[in-house]
């Protein structure tokens, strides 16, 4: 990434499964500041006076405010917008720069990068914001575009003690689900019909405001946290700082691939992981019931089928922090590969 050239990047989901159901997630690695030795990368600070203390370090995860309009937990978005659109308004993708039938959320801080001409940007961006819930009821849609304007109209509402994984991205970057393709050469199939997997990469990201400028972000939903008290040494005394710590879940990663799934039948169909080939059909392994010479039932045993499976799953040997929301997971790593 380089702030001196236009964006050309993409964000593509990584395939995963949750309770046997296919899902995807976007990966957001821990920053170098979060990964420094002796620092807990899961701690969140909202008080800049604490973040800037030398004993804590200016690279601590700082969660700036984000004004969230009419959230409906577990979703941070309303079921229907509460703002007032123009009379007889219908959104037109070709005509309208922004939707005038909804109120976009407001950020208060952009990722801060160190820019050097000819070099990739360096930054310590943590895609976490602190939620301040507000209502757009009675307000013209998209009339609030900055924290300053919002405070003058709605006052200074309080922090809800909720955190959101909202990753600000380059507005020109395409965002794709698992299996989608975005190259113009993939727009049509060989027979000339539209490719159902083709996407322009513009449906996943959300849009918001910061200082009256429009921005794009990926929504990772609410982050589960637990309140903690952290001792922070300052001179010859120690401050007890109230903050939050992000909760994690286990992420199981294939530690090795044994072989491809078994080829089955005359067509050479490859069986899915966990299935076997029996009588030219892909099947799940099952236990066969048999009888002895006297016709009595004997204990079950595995049937004599080809038990070759495509992959072996085991707990990973490294730690990952995963945030799951609405059909995909957003992941951050601590020194991972």
DSSP code of 84? B
- How much of the chain exceeds pLDDT 70, in percent? 75
Q: Given a cut of 90, is residue 260 above it in pLDDT?
A: no
Instruction: Give pTM, 2 decimals.
Output: 0.72
The better pLDDT of the pair 143, 63 is held by 143
Indicate the SS3 state at residue 185.
Answer: helix
Query: Using CA atoms, how far apart are residues 311 and 254, in angstroms rounded to an integer?
Result: 7
For residue 160, give every residue at least 6 positions away whose Cβ sits within 8 Å of its Cβ, in sequence order, or none.
131, 132, 133
Give the strands of the sheet with 320-325, arranged side by side.
Answer: 14-18, 21-27, 328-333, 320-325
User: Residue ranges of the alpha helices (H) in 213-326?
Assistant: none
Please, how many CA atoms are within 13 Å of residue 161, restricted to the half-sphere of its CB?
A: 7
Determine how many CB atoms are found less than 10 A away from the CB of residue 44: 20
Report the Cα 148 to chain-centroid distance in Å.
Answer: 29
Lowest-pLDDT range, 49-58, 123-132, 258-267? 49-58
Each residue's pLDDT tens digit, 226-250: 999 988 777 788 888 888 999 988 8
Query: Using CA atoms, how far apart are residues 201 and 179, in angstroms rounded to an integer?
Result: 12
Encoded tokens for 311: 């992959």
Q: Given a cut of 60, is residue 27 above it in pLDDT?
A: yes
pLDDT at 334: 38
Report the Cα 177 to chain-centroid distance in Å.
Answer: 11
Given a contact cutoff of 8 angstroms between Cβ atoms, the answer to whether 109 and 116 are in contact is no
Determine how many CB atoms are found less than 10 A away from the CB of residue 161: 11
CA dihedral defined by 278, 283, 286, 289, rounded to 10 degrees?
-50
The better pLDDT of the pair 224, 257 is held by 224
pLDDT at 47: 66
Please, how many CA atoms are within 13 Å of residue 263, restricted to the half-sphere of its CB?
A: 3
Given a contact cutoff of 8 angstroms between Cβ atoms, the answer to whether 200 and 182 are in contact is yes
Cα→Cα distances 323→68, 198, 270, Å: 19, 27, 33
């Amino acid at each position: 990434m380089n702030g001196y050239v236009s964006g050309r990047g993409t964000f593509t989901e990584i395939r995963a499964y949750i309770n046997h159901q296919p899902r995807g997630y976007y990966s957001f690695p821990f920053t170098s500041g979060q990964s420094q030795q002796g620092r807990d990368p899961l701690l969140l600070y909202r008080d800049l006076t604490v973040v800037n203390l030398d004993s804590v370090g200016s690279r601590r995860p700082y969660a700036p405010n984000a004004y969230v309009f009419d959230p409906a937990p577990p979703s941070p978005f309303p079921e229907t917008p509460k703002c007032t659109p123009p009379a007889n308004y219908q959104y037109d993708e070709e005509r309208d720069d922004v939707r005038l039938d909804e109120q976009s959320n407001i950020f208060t801080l952009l990722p801060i990068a160190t820019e050097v001409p000819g070099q990739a940007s360096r930054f310590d961006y943590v895609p976490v914001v602190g939620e301040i819930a507000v209502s757009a009821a009675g307000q013209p849609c998209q009339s609030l575009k900055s924290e300053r304007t919002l405070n003058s109209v709605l006052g200074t509402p309080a922090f809800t003690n909720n955190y959101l994984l909202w990753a600000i991205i380059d507005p020109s970057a395409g965002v794709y689900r698992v299996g989608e393709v975005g190259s113009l050469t993939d727009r049509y199939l060989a027979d000339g019909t539209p490719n159902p997997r083709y996407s322009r990469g513009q449906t996943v990201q959300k849009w918001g405001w910061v200082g009256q400028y429009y921005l794009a972000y990926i929504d990772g939903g609410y982050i589960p946290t637990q309140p903690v008290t952290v001792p922070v040494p300052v001179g010859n005394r120690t401050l007890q700082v109230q903050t939050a710590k992000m909760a994690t879940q286990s992420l199981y990663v294939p530690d090795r691939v044994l072989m491809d799934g078994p080829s089955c039948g005359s067509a050479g169909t490859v069986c899915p992981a966990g299935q076997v080939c029996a009588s030219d059909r892909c099947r799940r392994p099952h236990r066969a019931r048999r009888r002895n010479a006297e016709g009595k039932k004997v204990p079950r045993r595995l049937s004599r089928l080809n038990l070759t499976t495509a992959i072996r799953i085991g707990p990973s040997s490294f730690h990952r922090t995963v945030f799951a929301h609405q059909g995909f997971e957003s992941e951050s790593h601590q020194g991972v590969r």
